[in-house]
Amino acid sequence: MNITFVTGNKNKLKEVEKILSANPKISLSSRDVDLPEIQGTAAEISIHKCKQAAEIVNGPVITEDTSLCFNAFNGLPGPYIKWFLKELGPAGLTKMLAAFPDKSAYAKCTLTYSPGPGAEPVLFDGITDGSIVEPRGPTTFGWDPVFLPDGFDQTYAEMSPETKNSISHRYRSLVLLQEYLNKLDH
């Protein structure tokens, strides 16, 4: 099955390719399409993006929307993390929680699949619980330096790609997608 991953983020593309490379049933191509993002919940944003992508690509697509959710803020910044990160940087995200004793957070990947134009997209939410810490590790991939997954002593940024790709929110959503696609084959 050939699926187009619609993303302009080379780091996301690398992660998805690496995680899906073990599945011989899925052939992944990518396409950078500028999709306007609506405001709404992660699900609403993801469904809108996926429907647009399926129309443009005219075939099976996956889109992805990543959220970083602070429990002290009832899930915000959530799907708007990209804009917070752009304005504040990783250290600024940590400062947002300075006055709050609760530093717990979760990383959420809403992966959305559509078999093609006109089809209703299917959502796959992968969640990894953790906490927000002072930035540690390389700053090459978004908010990875401030997210410490539960049960680990390294931030996403400090982990090897293999370790991160075996526990991340993106990995978890891709597992759900693969399970769904495998059921379609039977």
Does 150 show up as a binding residue in the annotation? no
The verdict on whether residue 185 carries a ligand-binding annotation is no
Q: Judge whether 140 is annotated as a binding position.
A: no
> In 3-state terms, what secondary structure has residue 54?
helix
83 is in an annotated binding site: no
Cα pseudo-dihedral 168, 120, 50, 182, rounded to 10: 40
172 is in an annotated binding site: no
27 forms bridges with which residues in the sheet? 2
165 is in an annotated binding site: no
Is 141 flagged in the annotation as binding? yes
In angstroms, the Cα distances linking 71 to 52, 66, 87, 109, 147 are 31, 16, 21, 16, 13
51 is in an annotated binding site: no
103 annotated ligand binder: no
The answer on whether 64 is annotated among ligand-binding residues is no
Residue 59 among known ligand-binding residues: no
Per the annotation, does 12 bind a ligand? Answer: yes
| Count of other CB atoms within 10 angstroms of residue 142 | 20
Q: Is 169 annotated as a binding residue?
A: yes
* 37 assigned to a ligand binding site: yes
Residue ranges of the annotated binding site for Mg(2+) are 37, 65
Residue ranges of the annotated binding site for ITP are 7-12, 49, 65-66, 141-144, 164, 169-170
